[in-house]
């Protein structure tokens, strides 16, 4: 089964998302910060990374940038977990996101379990 | 002005004459003073002064003569209105009296009509004098008022904490107040006969003024921008430029008010940081809660019974509402920071509302609600900020859909109301209870009834709408009947013509 690295500094969120992913029999590895996430990505070489944006030690954009710059890991699909701050800025934020990051997809927190699973399946090329 | 009683003084030594005059004049409403010699007469004049309208004066009297009384009156400097009574065939005396300032004469014997004629003529003359005096005083007063007003405006402009820069339509400065002089590092004496670009080197500001002066072509009447000036590095200013028009609507100049907003910007930045921090701190736990609920609801940690599912769904709705509230709070804080009216431009309401209707149509269709938009006639443009207007109608129309039951109707009607565009957003929804109506534009106010329980909202939408409308010199009112529907009516001024 595919191995997914889940990076978020909120342990409760990690727990909930882990349950969602495990219910679909994914192999989940958790990391609780940007630096730990980067280390585990390199060590475990997962099939996909679910990556939170706002983290205190190293944010998701930076982690994403570093991985995508490294030819050894640049192929790993990355799904960004975003927390949009305001309604008015939603579109602007989304546009910026698409332009400035090399993430493969993004999804707003909190996530609907079905939507999350769909996006992951798409990224893993296992569309139903 | 209340009508003053007509007053006449009769000075004559003959009792018959005095009583005769009294009898004739009393019928015409005169107040009459009778004196039998010159001394007495002068006393009355002294006492009554200007309120005496006419003096009837006999020239031939024992004691001091009428002629002497005239001389005394002249000495006293009281403007008088004397009719001398002369004996038969003494025209020479009458002429002399006129030379001494008498207004008219009447020779004895005279008929009542002759007396009335001459007395009334003297009275009319007196009235005209009074009117002339009043007009003269009024004119002096208005001249004084204008001078005071000029000096007041000058003082206000010079005392203002903001910079004021006024140019004529050739872009030549006609007034730069001390604050503006300090901002640009120029002196009063430098201003004369210099073009704005020779005086200051702030191109962005000069362009603002020029843009406003060319307003009739580009239809922009006021521009507001944040600027920094090379003469004041590190400071941030907000410049607001508006056109001055004459009575035929020609642009004759531009007024620019420049406000130092350095401190405000700093506070604003701190507030933004604070709000960003708080919103993240608020969002994170709520997002985690909602995430857990989603997992439970999916049955991923054990099956739920019907009651549990129902309640948890409700909990999820509420946490979603909480997240929306954080978003609205951020929006409101932006609006309150004065970011509402950024750039006013001519807009067609039809385009704005049409776009909003397109976006919201799927929502209405999902509830089987008819969403209609009508423009009754081709309307002039309004001057407004585009994104603000979109926000207003997004809010109102989506509210109308939210509070209308399945199968209902939401209608937007655009019409003309004098100098205003009238936009009505009407629904056939659940309505608003009468006593709640005055409060719905307040921040965080939501009508709480059994019917609204299932609708999640933040209570900020309408207060955002109202703030935007008011910043555009418009108004918003609401009419509603419970279970019948609600109509919001917005008035927004059309672009001034020309």
pLDDT in tens, B227-282: 888 888 889 999 999 988 888 888 889 999 999 998 888 887 787 677 767 776 77
> Does the structure show a pLDDT above 60 at B139?
yes
- Domain span at residue A51 reads 3-123
Residue numbers in B near A112 (CB within 8 A): 294
Summarised one tens digit per residue, pLDDT across range B30-68 is: 999 999 988 888 888 888 877 888 999 988 888 888 888
For the segment A36-68, what is each residue's pLDDT rounded down to a tens digit? 999 999 999 999 999 998 788 888 888 998 999
> Is A9 among the domain residues?
yes
pLDDT at B467: 82
Please tell me the predicted confidence (pLDDT) of residue B90. 73
Provide the β-strand partners of residue A5. Answer: A29, A49
* Residue A51 domain-assigned (yes or no): yes
Interacting residues of B344 by C-beta distance below 8 A, sequence separation 6+: B220, B221, B222, B223, B383, B384, B385, B472
Q: Which of A13, A17, A19 has its CB closest to that of B301?
A: A19
Residue from B275, B279, B280, B287 to probe the interface with A (highest A Cβ count within 10 Å): B287
Is B294 within 8 Å of A110 when comparing Cβ atoms?
A: yes
- Give the E-state strand segments of B364-470 in sequence order: 370-375, 382-384, 409-417, 420-427
CA dist B116 and B28 (Å) reads 9
**What tokens were used for B27?**
């019928």
Please check whether residue A128 lies inside any domain of the structure.
no
Residue A114: its chain B contacts at CB < 8 A?
298
Find the mean pLDDT for residues B483-487: 90
User: What's the pLDDT score for residue B2?
Assistant: 56
Domains and CATH numbers, chain B: 6-134 (3.40.50.2300), 160-260 (3.30.450.20), 261-339 (1.10.287), 344-498 (3.30.565.10)
Of the candidates B284, B295, B334, the beta carbon closest to that of A10 is on B284
Q: What is the pLDDT of residue B80?
A: 77
**Predicted local distance difference test score (pLDDT) of residue B222:** 80
Least confident range from A85-89, B90-94, B451-455: namely A85-89
CA distances from B395 to B193, B239, B279 (A): 52, 30, 22
What CA–CA distances, in Å, run from B248 to B241, B252, B256, B498? 20, 10, 22, 9
**pLDDT higher than threshold 90 for residue A121:** yes
pLDDT digits (tens, 9 = 90+) for B321-341: 888 777 777 666 666 655 545
Task: Give how many domains chain A has, as a whole number.
Answer: 1
Looking at residue A56, which CATH number applies to its domain?
3.40.50.2300
Can you tell me the mean pLDDT for B142-153? 91
Confirm whether A32 is domain-assigned: yes
Of residues B451 and B26, the one with the higher pLDDT is: B26
The average confidence (pLDDT) of chain B is 85
Kindly provide the ipTM of the predicted complex, given to two decimals. 0.81
pTM: 0.45
Residues A87, B279: Cα–Cα separation, whole Å = 13
Q: What are the pLDDT digits (tens) for B158-186?
A: 998 999 999 998 888 988 999 999 999 88
Q: Choose the mutation target among A12, A16, A53, A83 for the interface with B, i.e. most B CBs under 10 Å.
A: A16
């Amino acid at each position: 089964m595919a191995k997914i690295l889940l990076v978020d500094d909120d342990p409760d969120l990690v727990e909930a998302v882990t349950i969602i992913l495990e219910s679909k029999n994914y192999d989940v590895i958790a990391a609780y910060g940007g630096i730990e996430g980067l280390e585990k990505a390199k060590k475990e070489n997962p099939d996909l990374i679910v990556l939170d944006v706002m983290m205190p030690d190293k944010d998701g954009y930076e982690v994403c940038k570093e991985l995508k710059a490294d030819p050894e890991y640049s192929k790993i699909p990355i799904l960004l977990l975003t927390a949009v701050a305001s309604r008015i800025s939603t579109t602007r934020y989304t546009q910026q996101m698409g332009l400035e990051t090399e993430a493969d997809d993004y999804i707003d927190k909190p996530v609907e379990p079905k939507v999350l699973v769909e996006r992951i399946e798409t990224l893993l090329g296992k569309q139903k | 002005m209340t009508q003053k009683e007509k007053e006449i003084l009769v000075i004559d030594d003959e009792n018959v004459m005095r009583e005769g005059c009294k009898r004739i004049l009393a019928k015409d409403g005169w107040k009459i003073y009778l004196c039998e010699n010159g001394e007495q007469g002068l006393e009355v004049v002294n006492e009554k002064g200007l309120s005496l309208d006419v003096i009837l004066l006999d020239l031939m009297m024992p004691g001091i003569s009428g002629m002497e009384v005239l001389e005394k009156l002249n000495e006293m400097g009281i403007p008088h209105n004397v009719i001398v009574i002369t004996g038969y065939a003494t025209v020479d005396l009458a002429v002399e009296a006129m030379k001494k300032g008498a207004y008219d004469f009447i020779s004895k014997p005279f008929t009542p009509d002759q007396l009335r004629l001459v007395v009334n003529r003297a009275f009319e003359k007196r009235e005209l004098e009074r009117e002339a005096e009043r007009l003269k005083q009024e004119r002096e007063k208005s001249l004084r008022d204008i001078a005071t007003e000029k000096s007041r405006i000058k003082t206000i402009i010079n005392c203002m904490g903001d910079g004021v820069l006024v140019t004529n339509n050739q872009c030549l400065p006609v007034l730069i107040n001390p604050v503006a002089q300090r901002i640009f590092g120029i002196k009063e004496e430098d201003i004369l006969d210099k073009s704005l670009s020779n005086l200051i080197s702030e191109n962005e500001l000069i362009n603002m003024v020029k843009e406003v002066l060319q307003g009739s072509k580009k239809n922009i009447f006021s521009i507001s921008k944040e600027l920094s000036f090379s003469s004041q590095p590190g400071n941030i200013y907000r410049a607001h430029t508006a056109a001055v028009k004459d009575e035929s609507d020609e642009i004759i100049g531009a007024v620019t008010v420049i406000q130092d907003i350095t401190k405000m910007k700093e506070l604003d930045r701190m507030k933004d940081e604070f709000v960003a921090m708080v919103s993240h701190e608020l969002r994170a736990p709520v997002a985690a809660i909602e995430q857990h609920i989603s997992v439970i609801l999916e049955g991923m940690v054990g099956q739920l019974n019907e009651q549990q599912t129902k309640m948890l769904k409700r909990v999820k709705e509420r946490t979603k509402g909480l997240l929306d509230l954080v978003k609205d709070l951020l929006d409101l804080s932006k609006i309150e920071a004065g970011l509402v009216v950024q750039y006013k431009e001519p807009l067609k309401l039809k385009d704005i509302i049409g776009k909003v209707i397109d976006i919201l149509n799927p929502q209405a269709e999902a509830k089987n609600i008819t969403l209609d938009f009508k423009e009754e006639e081709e309307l002039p443009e309004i001057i407004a900020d585009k994104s603000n207007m979109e926000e207003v109608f997004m809010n109102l129309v989506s509210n109308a859909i939210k509070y209308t039951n399945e199968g209902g109707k939401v209608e937007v009607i655009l019409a003309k109301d004098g100098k205003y565009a009238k936009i009505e957003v009407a629904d056939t929804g659940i309505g608003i209870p009468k006593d709640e109506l005055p409060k719905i534009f307040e921040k965080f106010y939501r009508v709480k009834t059994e019917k609204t329980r299932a609708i999640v909202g933040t209570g900020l939408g309408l207060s955002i709408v109202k703030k935007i409308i008011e910043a555009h010199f418009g108004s918003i009112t609401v009419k509603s009947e419970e279970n019948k529907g609600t109509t919001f009516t917005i008035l927004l001024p059309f672009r001034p013509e020309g």
